[in-house]
Amino acid sequence: MKSTFTATFLFLTLTYFSSCNQKVKQDNTDNKDSLSLTSTPDDSLLNLIQKQTFRYFWEGAETTSGLARERIHIDGVYPLNDQHVITIGGSGFGLMGILVAMERQFITKEQGFERLTKALDFLGKIERFHGAWAHWYDGTTGKAKPFSKNDNGGDLVETSFMAQALICIREYYKDSTDEEKSLASKADELWKGIDFDFYRNGKDVLSWHWSPTSEWEMNHPIKGYDECLITYVVAASSPTHAIPASTYHQGWARNGAIKTDAKKYGIPVLLKHNALENEVGPLFWEHYSYLGLNPNGLTDQYANYEDVTKNHVLINIEYAKLNPNKYVGYGPDKGWGLTASYSIDGYNAHHPDNDKSVISPTAALSSMPYTPKESMAFAKYAFSLGDKLWGEYGFYDAYSETENWFPQQYLAIDQGPIVVMIENYRSKLLWDLFMNAPDVQNGLKKLGFTTPYIK
């Protein structure tokens, strides 16, 4: 595969490969700015993607808190005027990315420790709502910023994404120096402060939101398969405010109604969401919960999660192969992967039954543990699009070749899984930290899960 990049794109690529002492072969048949990616070792390509994407959470972090900004628009257009807004879920993904960056030597151990300390100190000072954090905060003031009218308090799902990170940080440092053990204790204290049981509201299902002004008015029960499996896992695992197993089975699994015999393109769907009885949702369903939760060998009475996650990705690949709308650049070795991201009409949760010709790089790249061959093929194809798609913090959030639409914009919630899931494919770093945590294993056993991690 050959492509001609601009000088900026070529400089970023060659600089990194040189720093890794990797031989980059140039194809001189076009001109001196040509780079043959087919000759680049896959491992070095993954290093490049991880390191560049991690910069979103490092150089791009909000300065007061050290946490992740909700979005970064290289084009300077911020319709919501939220350049200083930090996101709790995306920040959790970013904190996990710091662990990756230290292990990959993108940053030093000392730098990582310092940033993690700053971030956890900030998390300990800002307002919480029965232990849960809000979806957004103003990084400069530490005040919660409403996500919507009644979503101005605790967001249990975003908090669960952060809890996943806190557990990994604790496990990473718990057997280290006294100073590092202190950071592990800080992470543990923040994790144990989340009152999951309060968010049952006296029922056998978890509620997504609680507001200090309107309490439970959002009325959003967390049930049916989507990105929220991790919420029930950490809620059952809490050493201080755990939910009973019945809340998982009656609430999330809907007394077994979560199971389905439906197939899409001949591939079993296995688990279904309430509103998508005969469809599959966006691919982030197979990323956010599984940054720490290893689906390989993970089973309960409802499904084998190794099959659930992989099948969802295979459905996306098959859809791209069929390409019923004849969109430009679709294919199993080209552009594939539909998920929630920026879109040609604003923001959209793309999936095979809601396709706007928009491909989101996070969809295929974060699926690397499930479909490494196809995910790597996408990575190389994405590079062939040059600096229309690649920028300061890795691949931009979304694009459409059909519409010649290449916005220079990023979202934390999409960049974070790229760094973490590629690392889980390469080393299982975050999977091993999370799954070996004693409280997580207790929670999984309580809910009836089996996994190779539980001996």
Question: Tell me: the pLDDT tens digits for 87-130?
Answer: 999 999 999 999 999 999 999 999 999 999 999 999 999 999 99
Is residue 183 included in any domain, yes or no?
A: yes
Query: Residue 422 above 50 pLDDT?
Result: yes
Report which of residues 187 and 22 the model is more confident about: 187
pLDDT at 79: 60
Query: Residue 402 above 80 pLDDT?
Result: yes
CA-wise closest residue to 363 among 415, 438, 429: 415
Query: Residue 308 above 70 pLDDT?
Result: yes
Is residue 19 included in any domain, yes or no?
A: no
Cα distances (angstroms) measured from residue 197 to each of 99, 207, 236, 445: 29, 10, 9, 18
pLDDT at 3: 38
Residues in contact with 433: Cβ distance below 8 Å, sequence separation at least 6, in sequence order: 99, 167, 168, 171, 172, 292
Query: Residue 11 above 90 pLDDT?
Result: no
Which whole number is the average pLDDT over 4-16? 43
Out of 28-32, 119-123, 138-142, 175-179, least confident range = 28-32
Rounded to the nearest integer, the mean pLDDT of the chain is: 91
What percent of the chain lies above the pLDDT cut of 90? 86
**192: confidence class by pLDDT, cuts 50, 70, 90:** very high
pLDDT at 287: 98
Report which of residues 20 and 73 the model is more confident about: 73
Which whole number is the average pLDDT over 61-75? 95
Query: Residue 15 above 80 pLDDT?
Result: no
CA–centroid distance for 421 within its chain: 8
Residues in contact with 71: Cβ distance below 8 Å, sequence separation at least 6, in sequence order: 78, 82, 409, 410, 411, 412
Distance in angstroms (rounded) separating the CA atoms of residues 328 and 350: 16
Query: Residue 167 above 50 pLDDT?
Result: yes
Which whole number is the average pLDDT over 295-302? 98
Residues in contact with 272: Cβ distance below 8 Å, sequence separation at least 6, in sequence order: 224, 225, 258, 259, 260, 262
Is residue 18 included in any domain, yes or no?
A: no
Query: Residue 330 above 80 pLDDT?
Result: yes
Is residue 10 included in any domain, yes or no?
A: no
Which whole number is the average pLDDT over 57-78? 92
Is residue 118 included in any domain, yes or no?
A: yes
> What total number of domains does the chain contain?
1
Query: Residue 292 above 50 pLDDT?
Result: yes
What percent of the chain lies above the pLDDT cut of 70? 90
pLDDT at 41: 72
Parent domain of 67: 41-447
Q: What is the pTM of this model?
A: 0.92
Is residue 20 included in any domain, yes or no?
A: no
Interval 250-263: pLDDT, tens: 999 999 999 999 99
Report which of residues 409 and 82 the model is more confident about: 409
**137: confidence class by pLDDT, cuts 50, 70, 90:** very high
Query: Residue 22 above 60 pLDDT?
Result: no
pLDDT at 424: 98
pLDDT at 81: 57
Query: Residue 39 above 50 pLDDT?
Result: no
97: which 2 tokens? 């990315």
pLDDT at 75: 86
Is residue 12 included in any domain, yes or no?
A: no
Out of 75-84, 171-180, 331-340, least confident range = 75-84
Is residue 21 included in any domain, yes or no?
A: no
pLDDT at 309: 98
Which domain CATH number covers 410? 1.50.10.140
pLDDT at 455: 83
Distance in angstroms (rounded) separating the CA atoms of residues 119 and 123: 6
pLDDT at 410: 97
